[in-house]
Amino acid sequence: MHNSTQLKDIRKYYQQQLVSQLGTAVVVLNSRLEIKYLNPAAEAIFNKSLNRLLNKPFVDSFLHCSLQIERLEQVVRTGQDFTDSDVIIEFIDNARISLEVSATVIRIDGKTRVLLECKQIDKQKQINTEMFQEQQWQAARDLIRGLAHEIKNPLGGLRGAAQLLDRELNEEQREFTSLIIAQADRLTNLVDRLLGPNQLPNLSLMNIHQVLETVYRLKKLDNAKNIQFVRDYDPSIPDILIDPEKLQQTLLNIIGNALQVLNEQGKITLKTRIATNQTINGEKVKLAIKISIIDNGPGIPPALQDKIFYPMVSGRANGTGLGLSIAQTLVHQHQGKLACHSYPGRTEFSIILPLPKRSNQ
């Protein structure tokens, strides 16, 4: 065992060392949004020293910064964090950088501070990868659908014939026809799942939290393990046109997977936020709703990470590998995007639903 002073010193030492050596740029602002600290990574990407920027208003420190000041003010006011995945900063010499910025309210020595974590991104590379995966997913889905369709037709005939035969047979022989019928039903079930959702969404204007609450109650009730559910909602999210049943199915598939991988001490967080400047299937969307389902399980095995949305890809011995493919189709039907970030200890699935232009203003 280590004594507590020793541990405190270790923590303090590494915390100081790490902030100064992190690759992520870290900026701390006060509640008036003036710069109070920059780590060396932030000094490097902004090409300015802490000495020059200390106490300067963050947004005015550059020629142009697309991060909206109202959003930062809202963070201070409400304590609700947010992420903008496309912040453009322009410098005096007209150089530009793209950043993903997450803003969180923290308390340091009893004072309110805003922590900005900024990651430089190569936007085009990210879009290209997403588009490529999207095409692959569509191709795999079309192939499976075609195959499922071909199986479904003769299967109906097979079942019908067995039923007819059933009437002609004696009790003992009927055992075989009922076996054919039962197995044909099982296959039809599978084939229907392979074909995926085929009805158009039945849209109505509603609050997504209504759907989240239903799912939360359902999962909480049939939760045999002792899993903690955390709800972290942004109540200011406006109503949106959704098909509640389809969104519910999507959430159930994702949470179902999380429950399957979690052990007894697991935690599942349902989080909603407004997200700005998202790219959905190659198109830029100014304002969107982001629903995140986060679990603290083992994470998705690296070899599976790029493929989990493909039909029939499963990491479970008895999984059909259709849950996420169906979820993806359902989110697509809402013009949205389903994405996943996972490492051991944290898996986040995010459903991004675009807000109509009207609410963008």
Ligand X SMILES: Nc1ncnc2c1ncn2[C@@H]1O[C@H](COP(=O)(O)OP(=O)(O)OP(=O)(O)O)[C@@H](O)[C@H]1O
CB of 310 to ligand X, least distance (A): 8
Is 315 among the residues that bind ligand X (CB under 6 A)?
A: yes
Instruction: Look at residue 315 and give the partner it binds from Mg ion, ligand X, none, a contact being a CB closer than 5 to 8 Å depending on partner kind.
Output: ligand X
Q: What is the DSSP track for 97-133?
A: EEEEEEEEEEEETTEEEEEEEEEE--HHHHHHHHHHH
Tokens representing 193? Answer: 């799942």
Which listed residue (248, 257, 278, 333) binds Mg ion by CB under 5 A? 257
Query: Is beta strand 346-354 parallel, antiparallel or unpaired with respect to 283-295?
Result: antiparallel
Q: What is the distance, to the nearest Å, from the Cα of residue 120 to the centroid of all Cα atoms in its chain?
A: 20
Is 320 among the residues that bind ligand X (CB under 6 A)?
A: yes
Is 278 among the residues that bind Mg ion (CB under 5 A)?
A: no
CB of 323 to ligand X, least distance (A): 2
Q: Distance between CA atoms of 73 and 71, rounded to whole angstroms?
A: 5
CB of 277 to ligand X, least distance (A): 27
Contact 284, 277 (CB under 8 A): yes
Residues 6+ apart with CB under 8 A from 76: 31, 33, 105, 112, 114
Find the binding residues for Mg ion in span 318-337 (CB under 5 A). Answer: 323
Instruction: Look at residue 347 and give the partner it binds from Mg ion, ligand X, none, a contact being a CB closer than 5 to 8 Å depending on partner kind.
Output: ligand X
Tokens representing 188? Answer: 């039809």
Which residue, 26 or 300, has its beta carbon nearer to ligand X? 300
Is 85 among the residues that bind ligand X (CB under 6 A)?
A: no
- Per-residue x/- mask for ligand X, residues 268 to 307, rule CB under 6 A? ---------------------------x-x-xx---x---
Is 57 among the residues that bind ligand X (CB under 6 A)?
A: no
Rounded to whole angstroms, what are the CA distances from 248 to 3, 136, 257, 331, 337?
Answer: 49, 26, 14, 11, 15
Is 311 among the residues that bind Mg ion (CB under 5 A)?
A: no
Per rule CB under 6 A, count of chain residues that contact ligand X: 22
Find the binding residues for ligand X in span 325-344 (CB under 6 A). Answer: 325
Q: How many CA atoms lie within 13 A of 297 on its CB side?
A: 25
**Contacting residues toward Mg ion, per CB under 5 A:** 257, 323
**Contacting residues toward ligand X, per CB under 6 A:** 253, 257-258, 261, 295, 297, 299-300, 304, 308, 313-316, 319-325, 347
